[in-house]
Structure 1
């Protein structure tokens, strides 16, 4: 697959031209008591406070980054959590581009890089947004080397076409929320 740059055609970096700002994020109960908060959340300046709070409270990885063998080029390299929206954009877009290269979807490495740049740009500009499990899980292994029990996950090996048991929930996460359930069909009822 060929991927031409559209939004990032004249940019060196997919985040060029975007002003990132540090904000406080807090979630409160209806009685005003604080559920959780974070003083240093970096997001595009164009983002609403609600978008900032959702990213910070729901989708940032909350632990395990200090010991991670890999690091994102964004955020605090000494932090144990994600604090910068670019970390999440990099984690997801980078993982999708990696999977695409690995599965042979892209004609060239440049096409994979173009895909990465375009997706990062669209996420930062809120032009596209995946479902919640993608935000939660996608790229944690790719970006940070995070491992975890397989939790009964299976995948189809692209080379052998065989169903295999996954060895890590994060290397091959379950990044979807809806499942099609079979219909009971007994020819009578």
Structure 2
């Protein structure tokens, strides 16, 4: 038995007997219930007999767990003790979007109430379109309450949730995982009353959920309608005038002419040989850089080709050469070391050498980094 069972043994066995007694007087409405009731009665008698002999391992015999997710996976229209949220509801999906869920037991309930198939079809069509049974063709007003749900135009009152929990609580030694749904307009005083009445009825625990109290809730009775914003004619004119005055500034690519001056430099950095061609605008500085490594097809050669294209496009869109020089000089990776350039004797990488060289060729002394 669990720790503390010895001093609570009499109370625990009394609770177990209350479970068995509640099972004995449980109402049975259908013939199918008889076999289930008989099996439950036998099980509870075994509980009393074995508990008297061995004690009980757990301090609670039963709880009612939340079944929202597994209920949907099992295609259940309601989840445990919870009433259906709405006859037609929308569930938000993790990957985005939503799915429509329609209660599938409505036709069965209508048949039990004596409606004909053509009437059932018309009522179900109305529910699928409007989400409620109100004004459904052929449905009697006195039957509306049969289809009341947790939310929506016809919703079960908050106290109705509490009374249902109070009816089930004697069967369960632990608590019931159950949400009492309240409208968005619920006040602090109304919520206080729910908790107080639940305590008086012997309910061990409950949770309150006020509709739309969270930015996003997984289930909702209907999709939110887009808010309608009225704009006066004067406001429209003001907006239109402002839009017309907006000037969008974007960089414009300045391409080099077909014939352009350039400098081709051969270099060696740490034993790696290559060629750099730096072409410039006739009157406005460097416009493109091409790099060719001696080992064509190598990873380094491919990366240098891609890098030179990216730098050239940036220069033509107006990125200052000083920015490139400040970012890429002193970048360290292999190959690195001695060069054959008398102006740049050491380089920490090929990129470091390239931008030291173009800085010497195209930038004035005071702007070199």
TM-score, with length taken from structure 2: 0.16
Q: Which has the higher contact order (CA 8 A, sep 6+)?
A: 1
Find the structure with the greater CA-based Rg.
Answer: 2
